[in-house]
């Protein structure tokens, strides 16, 4: 059995030892591929010098999260991967995490993507985002079963972020890889919509964990970050394969017009500019978006 871990790095020096140190104990049949998106903080040198077992690939440009992961997935597929484990650079696994996910995946072939439980970087709480994915509405039974010490082997969810995904070979064959129209954020939401579209399930395995060290990260409010966020919202709506394309376009129009009305009322003209820019984007990328949906 061949299991490949894919880690995309970008100025992640502070996390290198926690992330790659944990992978050294993840199992003899686990191999790691790193795609570096042009780090400038010494990430590359630390990985190459201290973790020579890693297959390190240096990208000349910042490919973004989707393209970089897809490159790693393609390399793993060429090596005959049975499972691919996507791991964020700011996360680390426990000794049994990956092997446990594989064991559960083998018993439940109807699942295409499995995730461990996400703890925060302090080990004292659930990662806040993860805690939302397993609420009683989103994941019936998870909280009560945890409290009553009667956990099941696996819980179905509709979404869990891609900080730690085990993806089966069969899922990649059916669903494909990440959508490259997303540069950063949103690609995981889109991918799991497609997983469900292809009648596969998404699950959380409660007796294995990762730590996701992101609680101290400040939200970026630069112009570039806001544009990426607005583009993500646009694509999440337009590429929703669970709805028809005309319905998605209508949802997009309603969302943006509502935002423009609100911005006008509040005299937030800069915010209005972002919403208008998304209409221009749709006009220019209509055919690409339509083509992307067809390949799903």
Q: Which residue, 95, 72, 84, is CA-closest to 21?
A: 95
Model confidence over 109-156: pLDDT tens digits?
999 999 999 999 899 999 999 999 999 999 999 999 999 999 999 999
Share of the chain above pLDDT 70, in %: 98
pLDDT band at 184 (very low <50, low <70, confident <90, very high): confident
Rounded to an integer, the average pLDDT of 48-64 is 96
Domain boundaries in the chain?
Answer: 3-212, 223-295
pLDDT band at 180 (very low <50, low <70, confident <90, very high): very high
Model confidence over 207-245: pLDDT tens digits?
999 999 986 666 667 888 888 899 999 999 999 999 999
Q: Which residue, 25, 177, 192, 174, is CA-closest to 95?
A: 25
pTM across the whole model: 0.93
CATH superfamily for 3-212 is Spore Coat Polysaccharide Biosynthesis Protein SpsA; Chain A (3.90.550.10)
Strand blocks (E) in the chain: 3-9, 30-36, 55-58, 83-87, 91-93, 111-120, 155-157, 164-168, 201-212
Rounded to an integer, the average pLDDT of 35-43 is 96
Model confidence over 14-26: pLDDT tens digits?
999 999 999 998 8
Q: Which residue, 236, 243, 249, 237, is CA-closest to 286?
A: 249
Rounded to an integer, the average pLDDT of 267-292 is 93
What is the per-residue pLDDT for 219? 60
What is the DSSP secondary structure assignment for residue 240, as one 8-state letter?
-
What is the per-residue pLDDT for 214? 83
pLDDT at residue 104 above 90?
A: yes
Q: Which residue, 42, 96, 38, is CA-closest to 67?
A: 38
pLDDT at residue 99 above 90?
A: yes
Distance CA(35)–CA(39), nearest Å, equals 10
What is the per-residue pLDDT for 53? 95
Mean pLDDT, the chain, integer: 95
């Amino acid at each position: 059995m061949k299991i490949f871990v894919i880690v995309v790095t970008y100025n992640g020096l502070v996390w290198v030892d926690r992330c790659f140190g944990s992978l050294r104990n993840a199992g003899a049949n686990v191999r790691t591929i790193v795609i570096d998106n042009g780090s400038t903080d010494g990430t590359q040198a630390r990985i190459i010098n201290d973790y020579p077992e890693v297959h390190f690939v240096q990208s000349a440009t910042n490919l973004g999260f989707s393209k970089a992961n897809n490159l790693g997935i393609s390399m793993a597929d060429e090596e005959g991967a049975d499972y691919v484990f996507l791991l964020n650079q700011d996360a680390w696994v426990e000794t049994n995490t990956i092997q446990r996910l594989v064991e559960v995946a083998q018993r439940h072939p109807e699942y295409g993507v499995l995730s461990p439980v996400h703890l925060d970087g302090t080990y004292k709480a659930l990662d806040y985002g993860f805690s939302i994915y397993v609420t009683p509405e989103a994941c019936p039974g998870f909280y009560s079963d945890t409290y009553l010490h009667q956990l099941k082997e696996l819980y179905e969810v509709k979404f869990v972020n891609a900080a730690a995904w085990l993806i089966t070979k069969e899922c990649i064959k059916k669903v494909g890889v990440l959508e490259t129209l997303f540069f950063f954020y949103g690609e995981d939401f889109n991918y799991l919509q497609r997983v469900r579209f292809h009648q596969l399930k998404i699950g959380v395995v409660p007796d294995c964990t990762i730590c996701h060290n992101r609680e101290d990260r400040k939200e970026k409010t630069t112009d570039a970050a806001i544009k990426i966020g607005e583009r993500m919202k646009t694509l999440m709506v337009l590429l929703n394969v669970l709805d028809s394309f005309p319905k998605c376009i209508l949802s997009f129009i309603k969302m943006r017009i509502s935002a423009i009305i609100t911005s006008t009322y509040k005299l937030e003209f800069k915010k209005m500019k972002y919403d208008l820019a998304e209409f221009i984007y749709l006009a220019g990328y209509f055919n690409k978006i339509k083509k992307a949906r067809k390949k799903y």
